[in-house]
Structure 1
């Protein structure tokens, strides 16, 4: 029987983890330290393989001279948290922001509808836990999303009856908050990252709080995800691993799910595998769960020893949807939908991520313009910060309020932002206004700014 972890505090995670992952794929199954000339850098192929190590070490999206130059810059940051203090080259980015990545969890929201309609409290946790596992498939994607500008937002409608709003509520430290709701559930997250740069890898600790309320069932669920590690971020083909426990606790009843994400071993042993149990409030196993986070999850009733019950069978509860073949950015169909205006509401907020000039330029394949626009937006953000300090002003998010609550997580304390309900009122007013026509497109200028007409030169 899988042990129950001591971790009990909730934390938000998915999109925040994704914001630091650069490029993920596979790499060689032995050290290439002596071949590439950088001591302590190990390149491992989690899928096995027999390619020549030196050839494999030099694969990737960057030219070798670009990687060498970047490595010289990054050496001084070894051991540091690099969440926001390092400027990354635009060539490793995807045309999406971290706020949009937060919305990717909504792809399989039908699982939450099923959880809310389910009469069995333990099956309810099977559906909800599978929903949280489902987003890990998106974390295989091999590009880094843009960090949001302070005050940036992302809105999503037209999917499962969900209204989704995310906002960048803090720049230092980088923090995001999001709220999603439909007739079955309410999802709230305050998200912050803590990272540790180790040379050719980055440890990622998801400091945050995630709460999921099921309306009909009347229960509140709290999540603690495992940490993650991005391997081979400079040399070799990058891949991500998330070894450890995912804990989903029913705060109303005391039931919980503990799923163990197996670490990737040599030649890919155990990679993607997830196993665990749904426990009752007395910490006795009720249902076993097993699967692969990039493919499927299944469940089967079990006895108090964790053994499958006689005359029962393993049943699949979730399977990843088909994805486009040879997609440039390894997007799923849902990722394309999120990045389009198909999921945008009428009268889109001017602070929406879709409108960012750097994101649009990268989407159109213009890396030079994307880099220039990224630098321009970041400089404008710095000017705004200096102006705020000069005026003695404080930045205040529009859709979320900072509370006095401090959540304790396995990786540090977290200031909690609560959804204030104003976006619901705003959206209702916009939708009732007949003068608002079709969804506006990228003809609107991106504007998350607190002040107008600031000079950035």
Structure 2
């Protein structure tokens, strides 16, 4: 598996070592799994992959999952024409595949284990600092294995979060075509900035998601800046079979200040689940020498241990666990963690919540309450309002301008294409400080009564 940023020499583990032989074996296994895919008669281009089985049970697996037979057939007839296409902006998707959360809220889930960034900031060892930071980057994948689709944010929609680890988080949908969001988060130890843009490829019964984003973290005590390049994600068995998620490939976390780097291989799922969830790699010095080996499973825990130049554990050292997934609610309908429920809760909302906040979306809220019919009709209504606002904007010869982020002139390269970069403009910090220092901070208005309103033109909110 080639490196995404020219770090192939580093990702080989310095020419050998404990993880190199494992990675080589799993790479060949990952190639074999795609040969196990079977097609069903009458469904051209269909692939069904059972992560717990082999080739002989693909047809039986296809009949499992969340869909009724008639729903599967109907959805397949609607979607098969999009095979090979980027379906990021499709608005005709049924709410049966959605979870009651938006992409802006999904961006905030990376903050669940932000105490790992606090530890990285406090750590004096530069290589352990990278180990903690990479464990933080891996930790979100436990939540990302959910098989439900978040709602696409409305242009101008926002999400705010406070009351967690002392952080202040703001995200905004800054572009509709292509769909893009930007977010800024800060506490006493770090700042986090992301421009998020997804590119997809629909493959019939699966979807590949390419993260054309840029994530940067600044640690305040050490002053280092980190940049994250995650692997792609593949959602398998979208229509036929039990939906499951895999993220095979390399994750690269680079210290832009020192040149140190972490390269982690997310092992592809092989036959009968071999290698699924496993993550292995190293912290490298700027000279590409392995310093710390990292191993674990993204759905359980991550550990690390100092290593020699061959990538083998140093004598007299022990494997140290640096992250473990928190307990989760049993039998949760959407496989939410406790933190995911906090994200939807108004308990993590600040005073004077912006009317554009995702929590206030009527389609999201209806789905959360189990009313799929209302969720579907509200989703359609919001999408039509968005189209109406676009027509108004075009008639006025105006362009949408984000409120909390500015588009820069920078075009950043990513492994999957170029990215227009947005930067935080600081206005939300001023906005929140003004509220916190005034009497309106004591306003006891029922926040759930606020009408969702991300619209630039007041006429759009009444359509």
So what's the TM-score if we normalise by structure 2? 0.91
**Count of residue correspondences:** 437
Among 124, 131, 137, the residue aligned to 1:126 = 131
Among 192, 211, 216, the residue aligned to 1:211 = 216
Question: 2: CA distance between counterparts of 1:188 and 1:248?
Answer: 14
Q: Indicate if the aligned counterparts of 1:29 and 1:45 stay in contact, CA closer than 8 A.
A: no
Q: Indicate if the aligned counterparts of 2:38 and 2:55 stay in contact, CA closer than 8 A.
A: no
Among 356, 361, 369, the residue aligned to 1:364 = 369
Please list the CA deviations of residues 404-452 of structure 1 after superposition, one character each: whole Å capped at 9, or x if unmatched.
0110111111110000000000001111122332474221000000111
Matched, 1:450 2:456: yes
Matched, 1:116 2:139: no
Among 36, 39, 63, the residue aligned to 1:33 = 39
Among 424, 427, 436, the residue aligned to 2:429 = 424
Matched, 1:60 2:61: no
Corresponding residue number in structure 2 for 1:6: 5
Corresponding residue number in structure 2 for 1:17: none
> 1:168-187 alignment to 2 at 5 Å?
168-187=173-192
What's the offset of the Cα at 1:47? 2.5
What's the offset of the Cα at 1:52? 6.1
Among 284, 289, 294, the residue aligned to 1:289 = 294
> 1:10-89 alignment to 2 at 5 Å?
31=37, 33-34=39-40, 37-48=42-53, 53-89=58-94
Q: Identify if the C-alpha distance between structure 1 residues 5 and 54 changes in structure 2 by more than 3 Å, giving closer, same or farther.
A: closer
Matched, 1:198 2:197: no
Q: Indicate if the aligned counterparts of 1:7 and 1:224 stay in contact, CA closer than 8 A.
A: no
Question: 2: CA distance between counterparts of 1:454 and 1:215?
Answer: 42
Question: 1: CA distance between counterparts of 2:54 and 2:83?
Answer: 29
Question: 1: CA distance between counterparts of 2:35 and 2:61?
Answer: 10
> 1:428-443 alignment to 2 at 5 Å?
428-436=433-441, 437-438=443-444, 440-443=446-449
Matched, 1:244 2:249: yes
Q: Indicate if the aligned counterparts of 1:346 and 1:439 stay in contact, CA closer than 8 A.
A: no
Among 332, 338, 350, the residue aligned to 1:333 = 338
What's the offset of the Cα at 1:454? 3.6
Please list the CA deviations of residues 277-306 of structure 1 after superposition, one character each: whole Å capped at 9, or x if unmatched.
000010000000000011110000000110
Question: 1: CA distance between counterparts of 2:348 and 2:230?
Answer: 28
> 1:87-106 alignment to 2 at 5 Å?
87-106=92-111
Question: 2: CA distance between counterparts of 1:67 and 1:3?
Answer: 36
What's the offset of the Cα at 1:50? 11
Q: Indicate if the aligned counterparts of 2:146 and 2:245 stay in contact, CA closer than 8 A.
A: no
Q: Identify if the C-alpha distance between structure 1 residues 333 and 80 changes in structure 2 by more than 3 Å, giving closer, same or farther.
A: same
What's the offset of the Cα at 1:40? 3.3
What's the offset of the Cα at 1:3? 8.6
Q: Secondary structure at the match of 1:418?
A: strand
Higher helix share goes to which structure?
2
Question: 1: CA distance between counterparts of 2:373 and 2:2?
Answer: 51
Among 402, 407, 418, the residue aligned to 1:397 = 402
Q: Secondary structure at the match of 1:309?
A: coil
Question: 1: CA distance between counterparts of 2:338 and 2:54?
Answer: 29
Matched, 1:264 2:269: yes
Q: Indicate if the aligned counterparts of 1:59 and 1:237 stay in contact, CA closer than 8 A.
A: yes
Q: Identify if the C-alpha distance between structure 1 residues 39 and 3 changes in structure 2 by more than 3 Å, giving closer, same or farther.
A: closer
Question: 1: CA distance between counterparts of 2:286 and 2:252?
Answer: 14
Q: Indicate if the aligned counterparts of 1:379 and 1:456 stay in contact, CA closer than 8 A.
A: no
Corresponding residue number in structure 1 for 2:20: none
Q: Indicate if the aligned counterparts of 2:453 and 2:461 stay in contact, CA closer than 8 A.
A: no
Question: 2: CA distance between counterparts of 1:366 and 1:228?
Answer: 30
Structure 2 gaps, min length 5: 8-32
Aligned-residue Cα RMSD (Å) equals 2.1
Please list the CA deviations of residues 302-352 of structure 1 after superposition, one character each: whole Å capped at 9, or x if unmatched.
001101000101110000000000011111000001110010000000000
Q: Identify if the C-alpha distance between structure 1 residues 4 and 389 changes in structure 2 by more than 3 Å, giving closer, same or farther.
A: closer
Q: Indicate if the aligned counterparts of 1:96 and 1:145 stay in contact, CA closer than 8 A.
A: yes
Structure 1 gaps, min length 5: 9-26
Question: 2: CA distance between counterparts of 1:303 and 1:148?
Answer: 47
Corresponding residue number in structure 2 for 1:22: none
Q: Indicate if the aligned counterparts of 1:223 and 1:249 stay in contact, CA closer than 8 A.
A: yes
